[in-house]
Amino acid sequence: MLVVAGARPNFMKVSALWHALSALRHPFAPMLVHTGQHYDYQLSQVFYRDLDLPPADFSLGVGSGSHAEQTARVMIEFERVCLEQSPGLVVVVGDVNSTLACALVAAKLGVPVAHVEAGLRSFDRSMPEEINRVLTDAVARFLFTPSRDAVENLRREGVPDGSIFFVGNVMVDTLLRFRQKAEALAPWREFGFAAGAYGVVTLHRPANVDNQDVLLEILEGLSVIQDQVPLIFPAHPRTAARIRAFGLGPLVARMRNLRVVEPLGYLQFLSVIGHAQFILTDSGGIQEETTMLGVPCLTLRVNTERPVTLTGGTNRLVRTNRQHIIEAVRDLDSAHGCFTDGLPEFWDGRAAERIVSLLAPVFS
């Protein structure tokens, strides 16, 4: 069995699977593949340490590039691994380029594919991740879904019920496993902040950071917000590069209460968002994590592939308009704040255990 991780959000999901598989290695004999889609230390290597993962059995080192270049490189390198190892199953997680690339390679070689976090849909084909989700699900044999809406999405697309398994959210497994360890770090103190007295910002999606006008609107909104509430901004390398390229560095530098920092490791980041007053993000995974942590999340997008975080969580969608962003943060101080009445179904820390129990009879 080959278990694939390519980018930062993959590692949290792979961690839960790896620990569940390791507890019952027979009949799986799992091997970890790191494609190298994210290769910066803080976006990949730090997760081996934070999440108690062993070194990858195979490191493909594909690096960056356009979507076509990156997907092609992963396919070429991963095919070599598959031909050498003849795996009985390839497990992919999430919706990054590595997810689709490895799923396609396996399917064309006749190797069954298991997709963890299957069925999520934003219904926005302008998102590269949406294309990756749809195509990965189309070739997967085992589709493990995190929520009921994901099950219905797959059924509408014609996926037979025998391939769909509602197991819950593996990212939640990892959060619950490492939450206490993260609590002990209290990294917000290093930034001179008190618990509950700061906000957190993350930005990385092309729709937000590759468009100069949109990025400017967001930053101008942040410039007003940080006058009222200090902000921690772990800057993704892509976002930092766009800020420089668009000449927006001086605007950021003038924000005295915006603390721009390097990307944080998983444990540090979990601790930081767990004690934040609110989160401003365009990340999918953070919508889930904040729901678990009970922290208000303002998602800078017009849609989400995780609607359960809207109906049963702490998440709210906010348009990437300066005034809307400012007003959304102000609304959190009123009765219109977003708080959960209960956690989504099967977000109980046992999703990976369910996946392993479903796969074990097939490979025994």
List residues with catalytic annotation: 204
- What is the helix (H) or strand (E) element at residue 154, kind and residue range? helix 148-156
CB 169 within 8 A of CB 344: yes
Phi, psi (degrees; rounded to nearest 5) at 141? -90, -35
Taking the C-alpha atoms of residue 129 and residue 194, their distance in angstroms, rounded to an integer, is: 36
Q: Beta partners for 32?
A: 3
Taking the C-alpha atoms of residue 91 and residue 82, their distance in angstroms, rounded to an integer, is: 12
- What is the helix (H) or strand (E) element at residue 200, kind and residue range? strand 199-201
Length of the chain: 364
Taking the C-alpha atoms of residue 292 and residue 342, their distance in angstroms, rounded to an integer, is: 9
Residue 266's contacts (CB-CB under 8 Å, 6 or more residues apart) are 11, 12, 46, 47, 50, 51, 178, 182
Taking the C-alpha atoms of residue 349 and residue 315, their distance in angstroms, rounded to an integer, is: 20
Residue 219's contacts (CB-CB under 8 Å, 6 or more residues apart) are 243, 248, 251, 252
In the DSSP assignment, the letter for residue 11 is: H
- List C-alpha distances in Å: 249 to 215, 216, 260: 12, 11, 11
